[in-house]
Amino acid sequence: MSAVRWGMLSTAGIGRMVASAVRGSGDTRFVAVASRDAAKARGFAAEFGLPLSFGSYQDLLAWHEVDAVYVPLPVAMHTEWTIRALNAGKHVLCEKPFAVTAADAGRCFDAAKAASRLVIEGLMWREHPQTAVAVQLVAQGAIGRLAFIRAALSVSAPPGDIRRTSVLGGGAVLDLGCYCISAIRLFGGQPLQVRAVQVPDPAPGAQGCDLRLAATLTLPDDVVGQFDVGLDLTRRDELELIGTEGKVVVPDPWLCRTGRVELHSGAKAEYLAADPNGAFGLGPGEHDAYRIELDAASRAITEGTPPRFGRADAVEQAVVIETVRRAARERRRRRCAGRDRPRRHAWAGHRVRRREGSPMTSSAGAGRRLRQPGDETRLPRDPERRRRADRYFALPA
């Protein structure tokens, strides 16, 4: 069976990684690249031995000898060019995050259905055998009952980087948090509630988007998920799955370079290879995760089978991303007027729930108005009511 012929929209750095990763693959072959700068496209094509290059994205989409398109464009362009590619009759693998809203994710799948084409969100770590080992351990009860999921990812991106540019879809959650959220959902299910806090980015062009963010997610069956991300920190790649009888540690969860999973029980630690029989041909470096992802997409296209993660997963992922961003953005604290020291408490300590399209209300009474910044008021004397008033958000059903 012949390899799927792929085109790439953009000559971005991650595209270079992907093009290198699939060299020699029997399932996936890149044949074309497009850039708004024709010279860059020609240089990329020459470097990776691609027969075709184009000076516009639309020209590549119009070329009949391209079966599928890989979209590593800035986040803000994902939905537009995914839909354009689908409308042009191409299958699409779009880099994470697939869309910044659930509505946009739904639009992409509507376009895929109308065109009878596949569309896939590019979270490559989920296709790697290392992840499969971790999933199997949790499912088999190797750590008892899952209780806590902790994930982290941080990088050091300079001011002005596209990941720190608001109009291009920048921000720590969109660029990094999507990995952590996908892990929490994969192991713990769709979150029920979210609370989050962020540090706004002061860099020019960032327009206050999240430079760093931490969130706590309430999951079904009393499981709690936590993650933190940052765009100005040292590199960290972390995933821990903590149960009542042990824990699973994935040392390099996102790029999967170590190819192993750790199982801890008391003082004992067991190190499990991701590919003990060599079926996936794992090697050093970070190419394997992308190769496995692209080959899985190519097989789904060739065989006409649905991908493992489809519409429901992509839409639910976007719902959580939206909710985390909103929770972090709308969480407020207030200094008490007339005090020498700022207090941590902004409102009486009622838990707050919010659903899409509904007014903000207190759980202590439907329709009850919460104190707003600018209201002249004293904190309640009751110590129980002076606890921190973090905002909780209920995810849309």
Task: For residue 224, give the CATH number of its domain.
Answer: 3.30.360.10
Q: Are residues 138 and 269 in the same domain?
A: yes
Domain hosting 54: range is 4-125+305-310
Q: Are 389 and 348 in contact (CB under 8 A)?
A: yes
Structural domain ending residue among the three candidates 259, 276, 310: 310
Query: Among the options 40, 96, 247, 268, which is catalytic?
Result: 96
- Known catalytic residue at 96: yes
Neighbouring-strand partners of residue 365: 362
Q: Choose the final residue of a domain: 325, 357, 388.
A: 325
Same structural domain, 37 and 150: no
Q: Are residues 184 and 134 in the same domain?
A: yes
Task: Tally the domains of the chain.
Answer: 3
Same domain, 76 and 152: no
pLDDT of residue 1: 63
Q: Which two tokens stand for residue 143?
A: 């750590």
Q: What is the pLDDT of residues 129-176, one digit of tens each?
A: 999 999 999 999 999 999 999 999 999 999 999 999 999 999 999 999
Give the CATH number, domain containing residue 100.
3.40.50.720
Residues 18 and 41 in one domain: yes
Q: Which two tokens stand for residue 208?
A: 């206050």
Query: Is residue 362, in this structure, part of any structural domain at all?
Result: yes
CA angle 36, 41, 44 (to 5 degrees): 145
Q: Would residue 298 count as lying in a domain?
A: no
Residues of the chain with confidence (pLDDT) below 70: 1, 332-397
CB of 224 closer than 8 Å to CB of 147: yes
Indicate the helix (H) or strand (E) that contains 42: helix 38-48
Q: What is the pLDDT of residue 375?
A: 37
Asked whether residue 77 falls in the same domain as residue 92, the answer is: yes
Res 360: pLDDT: 36
Secondary structure E strands in the chain: 4-9, 28-34, 52-54, 68-71, 91-95, 119-122, 146-156, 193-200, 210-218, 224-230, 232-243, 247-250, 260-265, 268-273, 352-353, 361-362, 393-394
Residue 359 has a pLDDT of: 39
191 and 69 together in one domain? no
Are 154 and 273 contained in the same domain?
Answer: yes
Contact criterion met (CB below 8 Å) for 1 and 302: yes
Output the pLDDT for position 101.
95
| β-pair partners for 121 | 94
Residue 285: its pLDDT value, please? 79
pLDDT in the model for residue 348 = 28
Asked if residue 270 and residue 133 are part of one domain, the reply reads: yes
Residues 159 and 83 both lie in one domain:
no
